[in-house]
Amino acid sequence: MNKQYNNKIEHRSCAFLKRFFLLWFIVSSNIVLADSNDSVYYSVEAKYHYGIFIPHHSDYIYQVKDYIQGGEVNVIRTRYRHGVWENSFNRIEFGFGMWYGSFGNDDVFGRGIALYPFLNLQLFQLGKLSAKARLAFGGGFVNRPFDINNNPFNTVFGSHITAYGGLGLMVHYPVTNRITLTGGMAINHFSNGSTRKPNNGANTASVSAGVRYNLTPAPETLPQKIKMAALSKRELLLLFSAGRNQAAHYNPKMYWSGSLTATYLWHINRNVALGTGVDFIKYGGAPYSHIRYQHIDPQASYGLRDELFMGTFGTAEFHFGTTAIYFSPSVYLYTGTTPPQPYYARMGLRQKVYKNIVAHMGIKASFFTAEFIEFGIGYRFMLKQN
């Protein structure tokens, strides 16, 4: 009976994550494929990775047995036309990629595959040599998640379906007008956002080498980076978001979580906005997540008051056409249950759907541990225009 219940919860968790990432891929494909007639150039890239599994939790110390290995294949879009907004980010690139690799112990952690959209931002160029930074976010699948009977030592992944995030630094050196050699380093993260426990998450660090092939040669004369005009636009952004999560591995119940967020934003220019705001958060099952198992009172009755939190944050919002990516380091002002740290973080994206209405997807995390994935809707109130 308990196994059937766990399978039902697993199915619901995976279904929620699938809907989340399907919406994300629809949004990101809108970015990559938009304005395809504006001098668009496509490239394909293949890389090999070699590195280490980062044991950020004590459970991993004796489980990691080997170095991690893997590879990735990417399709990249670059627009070179004068006047396009990519030039204000120094010819930013968008693309879709697929990553496949190991996690240091195939018997326990298994292997994973990820599909993700990404962006490459050029940092500098010295002659032919260029350096770029990469940000990727998508969905993943791991083949050996936690199983109480068959794989009880895997506290990294609680489900087959996970989120994937990647940060990287790369160098490119063209050897012909079509072929470019690439190398770099990256940090990758896999986690299901605590939709299913246990979920300590996996972090890997690796170096890579590969080759990139331009399907169409890039133009000989490249447009210069645009200096963006300053803005005086101000706005108030109100967001309501919700999601479901499992609070602890010993408690299979799924809880509703969510937040109401108010953000005041100063638009620095067309692509960047800075702001501050407040969060009103309901973290479903917070006592089971924040209180250690041995300290839980089995006779205690936890309610809504124990799941309520309030915080304040600073935020940076980066706009790419009609899509915005945000990062918000935050601190608690009120906690219904004492969290592991007095601070937390949120990140995600917002997509304009109609006039001032935006769709929202994000992750709330405490240090390295994701607490829940949420999605919702918001409205931008324009307080001051240029």
The reported pLDDT for the residue numbered 54 is 85
CATH number of the 16-214 domain: 2.40.160.20
Token couple for 174: 């063209």
The reported pLDDT for the residue numbered 5 is 42
The reported pLDDT for the residue numbered 88 is 65
Topology of domain 234-384 in CATH is Porin (2.40.160)
Residue from 105, 124, 103, 94 nearest 49 by CA:
103
The reported pLDDT for the residue numbered 87 is 65
Give the chain's residues under pLDDT 70: 1-38, 58-59, 81-89, 218-231, 293-295, 298, 367-368, 386
- For CATH 2.40.160.20, the residue range(s) in the chain are 16-214, 234-384
Distance of alpha carbon 317 from alpha carbon 325, whole angstroms: 6
Q: For the segment 223-246, what is each residue's pLDDT rounded down to a tens digit?
A: 555 565 656 789 999 999 998 888
Distance of alpha carbon 45 from alpha carbon 77, whole angstroms: 11
Helix (H, G, I), strand (E, B) or coil at 71: strand
DSSP label at 82?
A: T
Residue 182 in contact with residue 45, Cβ under 8 Å? yes
Helix (H, G, I), strand (E, B) or coil at 237: strand
Distance of alpha carbon 360 from alpha carbon 349, whole angstroms: 6
Distance of alpha carbon 114 from alpha carbon 8, whole angstroms: 24
Distance of alpha carbon 230 from alpha carbon 217, whole angstroms: 34
The reported pLDDT for the residue numbered 274 is 95
Tabulate helix, strand, coil % of the chain (nearest 5): 15, 55, 30
Quickly list DSSP for 268-317. -SSSEEEEEEEEEEE-TTHHHHHS-GGG--TT----GGGGEEEEEEEEEE
